[in-house]
Amino acid sequence: MNDPNKPIDNRILADALDEVKAMGKEGLSHPSAKPVIVGGALGALAAGILPVVTWPIGLIAGAGFMLYKRIRP
């Protein structure tokens, strides 16, 4: 049973894995692929500007944020 007051339920990891698998199978034709790639690129670019964060961390953070936004709008 999902609690409506709970912002993240226990299905988020399973939903994320399903989405990543679907993006891997369909490639760029999947509707989530392009926003996740753009989010990763923007995260890497922003990390290049910030002195503390390296670009791989920014890439993962940007792609992860966009993946989350695609799963839980």
Q: What is the pLDDT of residues 36-46, one digit of tens each?
A: 999 999 999 99
- Identify the domain containing residue 47 by its residue range: 31-73
Backbone angle region of 27, left / alpha / beta, with phi > 0 → left and psi within -120 to 50 → alpha: left
- Cα-flanking dihedrals φ and ψ of residue 3, to 5°? -90, 120
What pLDDT sits at residue 11? 80
Q: Please check whether residue 38 lies inside any domain of the structure.
A: yes
Residue 68 counted as domain residue:
yes
- Answer whether residue 67 is part of any domain: yes
Instruction: Provide the number of structural domains found in the chain.
Output: 1
CB of 34 within 8 A of CB of 20?
no
> What digits encode the pLDDT tens for the residues 11-66?
888 888 899 999 999 999 999 999 999 999 999 999 988 888 898 999 999 999 99
Predicted local distance difference test score (pLDDT) of residue 51: 83
- Examine the pLDDT at 1 and tell me if it is beyond 60: no
- Going by C-alpha positions, the residue among 23, 22, 21, 15 that lies closest to residue 39 is 23
> Are 23 and 70 a contacting pair, CB within 8 Å?
no
